[in-house]
């Protein structure tokens, strides 16, 4: 929104400087984007007189003019205008001047062999009007004594460019900005006294406002003026528009533009003689064509608001007028339209047709619905004052009436929210200055919101208005107390961050993804949960809430593999959703891993990552968090997205109350369905809600391992035992034989096949034996071997395999 201080003073009585104005605009929330000098370069354009013209020696259409530019200084100027003649008063631009329309900087130039010192300008080149047929002709009565003087009067103020937020449509008019400044104490707001219209024309045009579904126009006002004489706008009106970068066209058009920028009231004027029979405000029909003022023909869809006659659309409501009913300089009778169009329908129509206009920019944000009559009266009086004519009756048709928003406001809310005291009288004065109507009701203020403020709907909006006008600079800056509390995180939060670090320490890269995901991936991992669709997703491939973090992890793991990465481990900690209701979500630590182990190692042979690697990561993570691994219980009942023979679920105790984690290979069908270029994919899920707080605090989980100075020994055992016996139970039995000597038990083979009964299996284990006190003798090792075999045989019924 561009304004000048001079225009602002039409609505604001103040003696403040322009510098103070810029500060105050920012203080009341109207951001100043830039300030531009209106007079820069304009002092070069002079009133000049053509003394003599001669035909150019080498060009039939060019003339060489002797031009008096003041102080008896004569300049030779080559000119191609047909109206260039002796004695004509016009506007001269010397070398160095920049032409407003083209941005061309003039230089001394040789044109067909004749040197030209500058240029004689048309009104179009100076953005004074659309007239471009010849150079400007200035009336001698006004300019005969001004030869050599500046044509442009030096403006007293600069052009101020404001950034108006979408919630402040009232400030898209100069008057709305003045109202805010007056409320803040910057000056006194000037009231507009409307002149009564003396209706002298009896001619009428039938207007029908149709009641249709999705009708964008709820109020349509009109006023017919007959016997006008369209003319050039008076100087004051042209200067107003030129000062904000607008181009004067004709008095009738300029008046409608002036009303739009002055009071945020877009208007449209029809040539009444071009309207066939009647004017109808209705919804468009699919396939209708509209020939607009921007010289483009638009194909309309259904339910676009059009103003038409019996032949078809004349204007697109709230957006743009049409060529067929446009006014010209010879227009005799005009119909002024002032209406209210629905912001949503206006925005959708303009977006679909890719039309942008000043009127659309305002209607899509919300115009004052009660400004219709005022817009008609002010514009009709101006047209009559400048163009003459007889004004008809103001007619307003409505489909619905405007309902005033009412708010019960407790003044104590302001101090509670802003931390700033404000007196009752100050509240009343500010709100009245902003246009609120106030009734006191015990401790509350009953407020009627002004019609031009569609953004104020609840008490918190009123608080914002008071704070804005009172001044945010009045709020004291209080430094926070520099007191560190002993506890900044609760136990659950500490566990969350500990698990985050624990998994990362094992070589997993943390990723952060959306809580919603692609339904194709989610369906692979949702298990027994139902799909939770998002009503308005940000993109088509993020259309559901995730039932498992696997959906996003596998998606991004696959993208990394496609880019050439081979050995990757990713994890994320965050929510997954089990239902649509609030609270139907749990927090999960989920990780995936693929590729080779020891790919580049010269000590250990490379191999595919397997279920035991992921099992180790889960058990080690939970152990580090303070949970006792000796009490863990593991079985092989897992969701359908895990490999049925190479996965497990883990409980924190043998009671198997709640599943603490799942781990294992993901089902081969999943790898195939997402076309992942890998042999094996393993993963785990740890459920935070099912983890009871460990007895040890997380701060106690420091390494207590020591390195023995004595030699270690390794022994391999192979047992034949029932298939019902879990391998984990076998490890626990062996580990409990002698906790001081047995340092590690690792399974390295599982065999079921020939020479083994069908209900049996063979498990081979490697046991690491080491003492912290002495070097073990052969007898010590033999005794321990026998004790291990005896314990396993007694507790499981297993037999040592020969």
Q: How high is the mean pLDDT in each 10-residue block of the chain (802 residues)?
A: 92 92 90 83 89 91 92 89 93 91 90 92 85 89 89 80 92 94 93 84 88 90 94 90 88 94 94 92 92 92 92 93 92 94 93 93 93 94 93 91 91 88 90 92 88 93 92 81 73 90 94 92 89 88 92 93 90 93 92 86 80 93 88 90 92 85 94 89 94 66 63 90 86 89 87 85 91 89 91 90 76
Dihedrals φ, ψ of 275, to 5°? -85, 125
Could you tell me whether strands 206-209 and 278-283 are parallel, antiparallel, or unpaired per DSSP bridges?
Answer: parallel
What torsion do the CA atoms of 461, 462, 466, 469 make, to the nearest 10 degrees? Answer: 60
As given in the structure block, the two tokens for residue 467 are 């704070």
703 close to 615: Cβ distance less than 8 angstroms? no
In angstroms, the CA 320 to CA 357 distance is 7
Candidates 357, 336, 329, 315; CA nearest to 248 is 329
Q: How far lies 701's CA from each of 623, 695, 705, 775, 797, in Å?
A: 9, 11, 11, 30, 38
How far is Cα 529 from Cα 295, in angstroms, rounded to an integer?
A: 57
| Residue 676: both structure tokens together | 């992942």
**Contact of 29 with 167, CB cutoff 8 Å:** no
Output DSSP code: residue 634. Answer: E
Beta-carbon count within 10 A of 135 CB: 28
Alpha-carbon gap, residue 297 to 289, rounded angstroms: 7
Distance CA(145)–CA(233), nearest Å, equals 23
Of 622, 620, 615, the residue nearest 593 (C-alpha): 615
The pLDDT, as a whole number, for residue 471 is: 84
- Neighbour tally for 101: CB within 10 Å: 15
What ranges in 563-665 are assigned the alpha helix state H? 611-624
Structure tokens at 201: 């024309």
Alpha-carbon distances, residue 480 vs 304, 389, 420, 467, 570 (angstroms)? 55, 69, 17, 22, 39
Residue in the block written with tokens 């010269």: 602
Nearest to 166, CA basis, from 418, 361, 386: 361
- Token pair, residue 319, equals 């957006």
Inter-residue contact 486 to 517 (CB < 8 Å): no
First to last CA, the chain: 93
Question: Who contacts 542 (Cβ-Cβ below 8 Å, separation ≥6)?
Answer: 514, 516, 517, 518, 534
Domains along the chain with CATH numbers: 2-38+156-189 (3.30.56.10), 42-143 (2.40.50.140), 206-398 (3.50.40.10), 406-470 (3.30.56.10), 491-700 (3.30.930.10), 713-800 (3.30.70.380)
Q: Residue 768's pLDDT is what?
A: 92
Looking at residue 429, what is its pLDDT? 93
DSSP for residue 603:
S
Distances (CA, A) of 312 to 218, 279, 290, 301: 20, 10, 8, 14
């Amino acid at each position: 929104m561009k304004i000048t201080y001079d225009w602002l003073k039409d609505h604001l009585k103040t003696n403040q400087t322009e510098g103070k104005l810029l500060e105050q605009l920012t203080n009341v929330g109207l951001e100043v984007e830039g300030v531009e000098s209106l007079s820069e370069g304009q002092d070069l354009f002079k009133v000049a007189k053509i003394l003599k013209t001669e035909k150019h020696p080498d060009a039939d259409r060019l003339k060489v003019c002797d031009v008096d530019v003041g102080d008896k200084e004569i300049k030779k100027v080559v000119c191609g205008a047909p109206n260039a003649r002796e004695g004509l008063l016009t506007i001269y631009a010397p070398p160095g001047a920049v032409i407003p329309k083209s941005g061309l900087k003039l230089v001394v130039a040789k044109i067909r062999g004749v040197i030209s010192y500058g240029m004689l300008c048309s009104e179009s080149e100076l953005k004074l009007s659309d007239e471009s047929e010849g150079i400007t002709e200035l009336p001698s009565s006004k300019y005969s004594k001004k030869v050599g003087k500046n044509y442009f009067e030096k403006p007293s103020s600069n052009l101020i460019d404001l950034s108006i937020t979408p919630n402040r449509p009232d400030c898209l008019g100069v008057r709305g900005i003045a109202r805010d400044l007056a409320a803040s104490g910057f000056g006194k707001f000037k009231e507009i006294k409307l002149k009564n219209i003396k209706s002298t024309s009896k001619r009428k045009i039938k207007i029908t406002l149709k009641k249709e579904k999705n009708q964008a126009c709820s109020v349509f006002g009109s006023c017919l003026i007959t016997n006008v004489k369209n003319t050039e706008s008076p100087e004051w009106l042209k200067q107003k528009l030129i000062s904000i970068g607008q181009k004067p066209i004709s008095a009738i058009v300029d008046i409608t533009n002036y009303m739009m920028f002055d009071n945020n009231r877009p208007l449209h004027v029809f040539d009444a003689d071009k309207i066939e029979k009647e004017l109808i405000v209705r919804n468009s029909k699919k396939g209708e064509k509209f020939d607009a003022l921007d010289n483009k023909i638009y194909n309309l869809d259904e339910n676009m608001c059009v103003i038409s006659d019996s032949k078809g659309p004349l204007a697109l409501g709230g957006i743009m007028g049409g060529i067929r009913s446009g006014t010209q300089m010879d227009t005799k009778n005009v119909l002024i339209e002032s209406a209210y169009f629905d912001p949503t329908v206006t925005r959708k129509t303009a977006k679909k047709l890719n039309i942008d206009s000043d009127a659309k920019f305002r209607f899509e944000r919300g115009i004052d619905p009660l400004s219709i009559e005022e817009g008609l009266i002010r514009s009709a009086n101006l047209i009559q004052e400048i163009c003459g004519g007889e004004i008809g009756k103001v007619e307003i048709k409505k489909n619905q009436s405007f309902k005033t928003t009412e708010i019960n406001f407790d003044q104590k809310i302001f101090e509670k929210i802003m931390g700033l005291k404000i007196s009752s009288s100050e509240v009343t004065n500010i709100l009245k200055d902003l246009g609120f109507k106030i009734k006191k009701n015990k401790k509350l203020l009953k407020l009627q919101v002004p019609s031009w403020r569609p953004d104020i709907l609840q008490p918190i909006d009123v608080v914002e208005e008071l704070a804005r006008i009172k001044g945010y600079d009045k709020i004291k800056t209080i430094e926070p107390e520099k007191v560190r509390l002993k506890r900044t995180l609760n136990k659950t939060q500490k566990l969350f961050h500990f698990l985050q670090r624990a998994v990362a320490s094992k070589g997993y890269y943390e990723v952060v993804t959306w809580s919603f995901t692609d339904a194709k991936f989610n369906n692979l991992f949702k298990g027994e949960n139902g799909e939770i669709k998002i009503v308005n997703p940000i993109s088509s491939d993020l259309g559901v809430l995730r039932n498992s973090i696997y959906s996003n992890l596998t998606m991004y793991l696959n993208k990394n593999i496609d880019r050439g990465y081979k050995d990757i481990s990713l994890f994320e900690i965050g929510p997954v959703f089990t239902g649509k209701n609030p609270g139907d979500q749990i927090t999960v630590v989920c990780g995936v891993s693929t590729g080779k182990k020891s790919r580049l190692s010269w000590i250990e042979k490379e191999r595919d990552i397997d279920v035991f690697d992921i099992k180790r990561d889960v058990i080690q993570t939970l152990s580090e968090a303070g949970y006792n691994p000796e009490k863990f219980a593991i079985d092989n009942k897992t969701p359908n997205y895990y490999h049925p023979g190479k996965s497990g679920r883990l409980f924190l105790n043998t009671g198997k109350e709640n599943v603490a984690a799942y781990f294992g290979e993901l089902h081969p069908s999943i790898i195939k369905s997402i076309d992942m270029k890998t042999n094996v994919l393993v993963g785990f899920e740890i459920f935070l809600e099912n983890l009871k707080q460990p007895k040890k605090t997380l701060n106690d989980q420091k390494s207590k391992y020591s390195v023995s100075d004595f030699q270690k020994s390794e022994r391999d055992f192979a047992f034949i035992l029932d298939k019902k016996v879990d391998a984990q139970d076998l490890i626990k039995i062996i580990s409990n034989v002698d906790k001081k000597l047995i340092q590690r038990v690792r399974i390295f083979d599982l065999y079921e096949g020939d020479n083994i009964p069908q209900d049996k299996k063979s498990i081979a284990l490697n046991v690491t034996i080491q003492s912290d006190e002495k070097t073990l003798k052969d007898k010590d090792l033999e005794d321990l071997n026998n004790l291990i075999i005896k314990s396993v045989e007694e507790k499981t019924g297993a037999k040592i395999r020969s």
